[in-house]
């Protein structure tokens, strides 16, 4: 019997070794050798044309907007993204072209919730400032008033976006004795709520909390959701963290609030237009800045890659891929 020809797959990025090994085992990898960073749009379009793949596995930062999708060779039938988020893909354009798109949800829930909690603690306990002080060599020893932060135990946490990540964060926060509030499009079933207090209006949540965590995905509807008006509703001295998407925050408004002390501390893992970020953050001591590390654990990145490949396997076996988003 003739061995079955492997499906041609273009990887736009270098993936973790275990994921690369499985991709190489099961697919014919075509096109230029992928690197760590996204190809600029022209190079991506050229790579697609050169490779003529049946499938593409991409990642956040790759620009699959209407123009890129329109320029895809007709050979491409499915685009799987190595991410839960799909804001780098124009899903409408994909639907219009009959391109199947899948994401990789669920498997990054715990890692992203952990990172959100880490940012809350890092911001509240001033870990960035402490680390910089020790590394600078200027630390002269323990003092009763040095780098006093805020205790998070017993505080009120408000979560925007009570999806899987928000709910995992809520569970972790409860372990620290925090009271959990949330604002979501729909109120959750009580079993999923696990005692969290629902606010139908964002405004009512903002004035009832000490710490705000943004875990919602990016969308046009939520663009600059955290603006000057909403920040003003937070109590003075609040903490804000964002592990959802940078577009949720109006940076100028948050920077002004961090300068005035209305927001005492912030922790950010994602930025509007990243990897560029608003320069106003750079000289503020009271914000912890991370380079989009939410899902960055060995276990999670393997699981994300395997999930993307599971979707491709299902599609080419003639089944509906489990994580189809378009
Ligand atoms: C995602 O999957 O959307 C994350 O932001 C990448 O970790």
Output the CA 162–ligand 1 centroid distance in Å: 16
325 CB under 6 A from ligand 1?
no
Read off the pTM: 0.95
**Domain match, 154 and 265 both:** yes
3-state secondary structure of 102: strand
pLDDT of residue 3: 67
**Domain match, 101 and 118 both:** no
DSSP H helical ranges for the chain: 17-26, 41-51, 66-71, 91-97, 109-124, 127-136, 164-175, 190-193, 202-206, 228-233, 251-260, 298-316
Q: pLDDT digits over 258-284, tens only?
A: 999 999 999 999 999 999 999 999 999
3-state secondary structure of 133: helix
Measured from the Cα of 85, ligand 1's closest atom is 3
pLDDT of residue 87: 93
- Residue 216 pLDDT grade (very low, low, confident, very high; cuts 50, 70, 90): very high
Output the CA 301–ligand 1 centroid distance in Å: 10
- In the residue annotation, 245 being an active-site residue is answered as yes
CA distance 281 to 291: 13
**Domain match, 240 and 101 both:** no
Residue 84: CB atoms within 10 Å: 24
Q: What is the dihedral of CA 114, 118, 124, 125, to 10 degrees?
A: 140
Measured from the Cα of 112, ligand 1's closest atom is 7
- Catalytic option among 125, 292, 301, 307: 292
Instruction: Tell me if 53 sits within 8 A of 76, measured CB to CB.
Output: yes
**Domain match, 162 and 14 both:** no
DSSP class of 279: G
pLDDT of residue 33: 97
CA distance 299 to 239: 29
**Domain match, 146 and 282 both:** yes
Judge whether 1 lies within some domain. Answer: no
Q: What percent of the chain has pLDDT over 70?
A: 99
- Residue 1 pLDDT grade (very low, low, confident, very high; cuts 50, 70, 90): low
Judge whether 325 lies within some domain. Answer: no
Average pLDDT over residues 49-70: 97
What's the CATH code of the domain at 277? Answer: 3.40.50.720
Judge whether 227 lies within some domain. Answer: yes
295 CB under 6 A from ligand 1?
yes
- Catalytic option among 245, 262, 278, 307: 245
60 CB under 6 A from ligand 1?
yes
Task: Output 184 or 204, whichever has higher pLDDT.
Answer: 204
Average pLDDT over residues 187-210: 96
**Domain match, 115 and 244 both:** yes
Measured from the Cα of 296, ligand 1's closest atom is 7
Output the CA 136–ligand 1 centroid distance in Å: 33
- Give how many domains the chain has, as a whole number: 2
Q: What percent of the chain has pLDDT over 90?
A: 97
Average pLDDT over residues 170-187: 96
Q: pLDDT digits over 82-92, tens only?
A: 999 999 999 99
161 CB under 6 A from ligand 1?
no
pLDDT of residue 12: 98
**Domain match, 88 and 203 both:** no
**Domain match, 92 and 167 both:** no
- Residue 2 pLDDT grade (very low, low, confident, very high; cuts 50, 70, 90): low
Average pLDDT over residues 144-154: 97
Which residue's alpha carbon is nearest to atom 7 within ligand 1?
295
Residue-wise DSSP of 254-265: HHHHHHHTSEEE
Judge whether 168 lies within some domain. Answer: yes
83 CB under 6 A from ligand 1?
yes
Give Cα 262 to chain centroid, integer Å: 26
Output the CA 217–ligand 1 centroid distance in Å: 9
Contacts of residue 252, Cβ cutoff 8 Å, sequence gap at least 6: 278, 280
Judge whether 76 lies within some domain. Answer: yes
Query: Mean pLDDT over all residues of the chain?
Result: 97
Average pLDDT over residues 9-32: 98
- In the residue annotation, 274 being an active-site residue is answered as yes
pLDDT of residue 185: 81
Judge whether 266 lies within some domain. Answer: yes
Measured from the Cα of 270, ligand 1's closest atom is 5
pLDDT of residue 4: 80
Model confidence at 199: pLDDT above 80: yes
Judge whether 250 lies within some domain. Answer: yes
Q: pLDDT digits over 103-137, tens only?
A: 999 999 999 999 999 999 999 999 999 999 999 99
Judge whether 326 lies within some domain. Answer: no
Average pLDDT over residues 74-84: 98
- Catalytic option among 95, 274, 278, 324: 274
Q: Which residue has the tokens 């505080």?
A: 155
- In the residue annotation, 292 being an active-site residue is answered as yes
166 CB under 6 A from ligand 1?
no
Expressed as residue numbers, the domain containing 162 is 109-289
């Amino acid at each position: 019997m003739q061995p079955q020809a492997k499906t041609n797959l273009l990887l736009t990025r270098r993936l973790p070794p275990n994921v690369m090994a499985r991709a190489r085992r099961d697919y014919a990898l075509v096109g230029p050798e992928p690197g760590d960073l996204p190809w600029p749009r022209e190079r991506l379009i050229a790579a697609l044309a050169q490779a003529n793949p049946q499938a593409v596995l991409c990642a956040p930062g790759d620009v699959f907007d209407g123009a890129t999708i329109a320029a895809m060779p007709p050979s491409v039938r499915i685009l799987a993204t190595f991410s839960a988020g799909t804001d780098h893909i124009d899903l409408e354009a994909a639907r219009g072209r009959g391109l199947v798109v899948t994401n990789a949800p669920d498997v990054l829930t715990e890692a992203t919730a952990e990172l959100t909690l880490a940012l809350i603690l890092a911001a509240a306990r001033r870990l960035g400032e402490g680390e910089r002080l020790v590394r600078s060599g200027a630390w002269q020893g323990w003092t009763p008033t040095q780098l006093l932060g805020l205790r998070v135990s017993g505080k009120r946490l408000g979560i925007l976006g009570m999806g899987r990540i928000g709910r995992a964060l809520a569970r972790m926060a409860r372990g620290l004795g925090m009271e959990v509030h949330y604002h979501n499009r729909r109120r959750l079933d009580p079993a999923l709520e696990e005692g969290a207090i629902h606010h139908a209006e964002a405004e009512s949540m903002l004035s009832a909390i000490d710490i705000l965590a943004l875990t919602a995905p990016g969308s046009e509807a939520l663009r600059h959701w955290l603006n000057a008006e909403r920040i003003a509703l937070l109590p003075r001295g609040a903490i804000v963290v964002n592990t959802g998407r940078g577009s949720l925050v109006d940076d100028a408004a948050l920077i002004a609030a961090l300068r005035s002390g209305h927001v005492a501390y912030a922790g950010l893992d994602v930025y509007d237009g990243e990897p560029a970020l608003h320069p106003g953050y750079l000289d503020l001591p009271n914000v912890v800045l991370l380079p989009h590390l939410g899902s960055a654990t060995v276990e999670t990145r393997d699981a994300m890659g395997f999930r993307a490949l599971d979707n491709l396997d299902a599609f080419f076996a003639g089944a509906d891929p489990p994580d189809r988003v378009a």
